[in-house]
Structure 1
Amino acid sequence: MRIFILLILFVMSSFAQGYSKPDIERMIAKMVILGFNGENVSKNSQIYKDIEAGLGGVILFDKDPNDKNKVKNIRNKEQLKKLNQDLQAISKQKLLISIDQEGGVVQRLKTDMGFVNTLKASEIAQKAEEFAKNSYQAMAKDLKDVGINVDFAPVVDLALNKNNKVIVTRGRSFGESSSEVTKYASIFVDELKKQNVISVLKHFPGHGSSLADSHLGFVDITKTWTKKELEPYKYFINNNKVDMIMTAHVFNENLDKNYPATLSYNVNTKLLREQLKYDGVLITDDLQMSAISKHYDLKTTLRLSINSGVNLLLFANQLAKPVTLKEIVDTVYSEILSENISLEKIIESNKKIDKLLNNI
């Protein structure tokens, strides 16, 4: 009976604000970036239907992680450009077409597909600034040419722990000092912006001091994290050079005694929004990574992340069993009905996303 009354009150309230159930479902869908399988798209493709339903964006990969011999989305330049054109044509709004293209070990666009090779961040930082500019200029042009408008880069983590296997030993950080990191990350961001490609600073509030990999499981940075890891974010926010920020699946009991950063109101709202004065789009790292998926079910993950201050929900669908847009939308809608997520959070996120879309 209580649920029925809540439903009636919610519907009345929503209509009072001018939103129908389909309106709200589309707003939730706009907050999702989804991975999918396929080198092309047709009206029978699930991703086609998802985009028609209002999906906010997609993330592209070269190889299928469940079978490295199979292509997931990217075979070559021509095929990728056609795929992205077709994806954009489905959407009534600007579709966020995203990729991980940092350089070094994290490059979905490879030379054998016709793309430029970019050195890893640690090597770029050993070169002159002109070399960095030319490198990121070429990369940004590649992205623009094939219709990619979001690059999950640059990494602004500080290389504080020399044994850090996810960032430091893989050469994904520009260096140990924030001045070095901001210098080269700024060049990266500037070159992307010239091509109308959205840059994404990652991984907030800092992954460079960690001892473990959040792809594999729980990562506790309580004893290793320092406030200096916030300095790159302060620089970019204070200089109005941020398009988007990505959260890290790291736990720090000094910042939040209960939740990792991606799900933490203390980290994403109190620290990032209120203390550092960030007002832009905040996206999760992949919510299917083990640091999250092994500890929280989908409903809890969605409720906590949205309530924490996140605006975009990333599901890379690199696992054998993908998460569907319908599951996500239905779960969030149910949580709104149950008053566990406020409709205002959804409206606010959509406003931030719309503002971001106006820049590309």
Structure 2
Amino acid sequence: MGAQMSRRQLLAAAGLAASAALAGCGSAGGGSSASSSAPTAGEKAPVLDEAALRRKVASLLVVGFRGTSVAPGDWIVRAIREQGLGGVILFDTDQLTGGPRNITSPAQVTSLVKSLRDAAPGPLIVSIDQEGGQISRLNPGDGFPASQSQQQVGAVNTTANTASWAQGMVRSMKSIGVTMNFAPVVDLNVNPANPAIGELGRSFSADPNVVVANAAEEIKVHRAAGIKTSIKHFPGFGSATGNTDFDVVDVTSTWKRSELVPFQRLIADGNTDSVLVAHLLNRQLDPSRPMSLSPKVVTELLRGELGWAGPVVSDDMQAAGITGRYGDAEAFTLAVQAGVDLLVYANQQVYDPDIVRKTLDTAVKQVKAGQLTMAQIDAAVKRVDTLRP
């Protein structure tokens, strides 16, 4: 891929070409930016370049798919090659079928990733959930080394052990071509019976000092290998009594502001590549919307109070915590309005090979309706570009 243009260059070129074509046809308005002045009486409104918009929005999506190998005509390959899909997410097991999903051996998944990257016109985000312990998509059953859980690592709580543990996982990811890991979990283990966090050993500790120290070391190891990370699940999942993959989960009565501390410190220390926002309900922070769809949480709390200026990532947009209350189009629109940049569609709770086209159709419709702006999309593209290999 050494000769490939960057995705930002490709998008810019598409925009310039469209502008030139419009100028040659005598159309009024030189572009589709939301910052353009409103047309005066007698002037035509700026023409929306739908093709450029669709490619920009496609670059903000990470999508899951079935298959241990791919062919040129497969929908995921066509979405990457023809629509500009920005990323994929790999899983070992398909939740709906119970069978293998994308990973059966190191050689197999390396070949799969190469095929996907070869289809991409620019740098492709190849992502995974490799937290360690039970949440390890690369595991001994498929020929990869075993890894401790974050809880086990936090119990040891030494820099040497944490570095060694992270290096083992990073070697596996690097060897197959993964470029982004949706880890570490920086939720405080305030409820050990939490079925989504505590019971699965996904938290380093209930002590924020332990969480921050181990997360920072893990991120350092990833960065040394060129793999991006995402601290999760903002603004804190540790007190929950349910799992947003399968239910609408409300932490209003259990969440405490102390759960923000790991996020706050990692951001302040520069130890953050991106922040993944949970689908939790928390009426302390927003009386009606899930955290991932809330401007109060994403824009005011995360970006405003905590000062985070980088990419914000959604949890799985097809999780029950979202689909139980919103349709795909509404959820996408609210997430972008809230300030989410990179949207993940795992295709695990439901399997929809048409999710990319549907989402792009929604984006065009909502920009035309004034519910989303080109300025929002362009800002998201710029932030997501920092996550590309």
TM-score by length of structure 2 reads 0.86
1:47 paired residue among 73, 76, 86: 76
1:198 matched to which residue of 2?
Answer: 228
> Taking structure 1 as reference, are residues 26 and 148 closer, same or farther at Cα in structure 2, changes over 3 Å only?
same
What runs of 5+ residues in structure 1 fail to find an aligned partner?
A: 1-10
**How do 1:98-177 residues align onto structure 2 when only pairs under 5 Å count?**
98-127=127-156, 128-177=158-207
- 1:73 partnered with 2:102: yes
1:347 matched to which residue of 2?
Answer: 378
> Taking structure 1 as reference, are residues 14 and 181 closer, same or farther at Cα in structure 2, changes over 3 Å only?
farther
**Amino acid of the residue matched to residue 354 of structure 1?**
D
Query: Whole-Å Cα distance in 1 between the matches of residues 299 and 100 of structure 2?
Result: 39
Query: Whole-Å Cα distance in 1 between the matches of residues 112 and 179 of structure 2?
Result: 14
Query: Whole-Å Cα distance in 2 between the matches of residues 105 and 285 of structure 1?
Result: 18
Q: Decide whether the 8 Å contact of 2:228 with 2:273 is kept in 1.
A: yes
**Amino acid of the residue matched to residue 369 of structure 2?**
S
Q: Decide whether the 8 Å contact of 2:65 with 2:347 is kept in 1.
A: yes
2:359 paired residue among 310, 328, 343: 328
- How many angstroms does 1:112 deviate by? 3.0
**Runs (4+) of structure 1 moved beyond 3 Å?**
11-14, 16-19
What runs of 5+ residues in structure 2 fail to find an aligned partner?
A: 1-26, 34-46
Q: Decide whether the 8 Å contact of 1:14 with 1:20 is kept in 2.
A: no
2:115 paired residue among 79, 86, 97: 86
> Taking structure 1 as reference, are residues 14 and 210 closer, same or farther at Cα in structure 2, changes over 3 Å only?
farther
- How many angstroms does 1:162 deviate by? 2.4
- 1:356 partnered with 2:361: no
2:56 matched to which residue of 1?
Answer: 27
3-state SS of the aligned residue for 1:284? strand
TM-score by length of structure 1 reads 0.93
**Amino acid of the residue matched to residue 65 of structure 1?**
Q
CA RMSD of aligned residues (A): 1.6
Q: Could you report, residue by residue, the CA deviation over 1:146-201 in whole angstroms, capped at 9, with x for unpaired residues?
A: 00011111000001112211101211000001101011111111111111111110
3-state SS of the aligned residue for 1:144? helix
2:318 matched to which residue of 1?
Answer: 288
3-state SS of the aligned residue for 2:236? coil
Query: Whole-Å Cα distance in 2 between the matches of residues 174 and 347 of structure 1?
Result: 36
Q: Looking at CA atoms only, which structure, 1 or 2, has the larger radius of gyration? A: 2
**Amino acid of the residue matched to residue 227 of structure 2?**
V
Query: Whole-Å Cα distance in 2 between the matches of residues 321 and 155 of structure 1?
Result: 26
**How do 1:206-245 residues align onto structure 2 when only pairs under 5 Å count?**
206-245=236-275
Aligned residues: 348
1:62 paired residue among 60, 68, 92: 92
2:12 matched to which residue of 1?
Answer: none
Query: Whole-Å Cα distance in 2 between the matches of residues 19 and 116 of structure 1?
Result: 50
- How many angstroms does 1:280 deviate by? 0.7
Identity across aligned pairs (percent)? 31
- How many angstroms does 1:24 deviate by? 0.7
3-state SS of the aligned residue for 2:199? coil
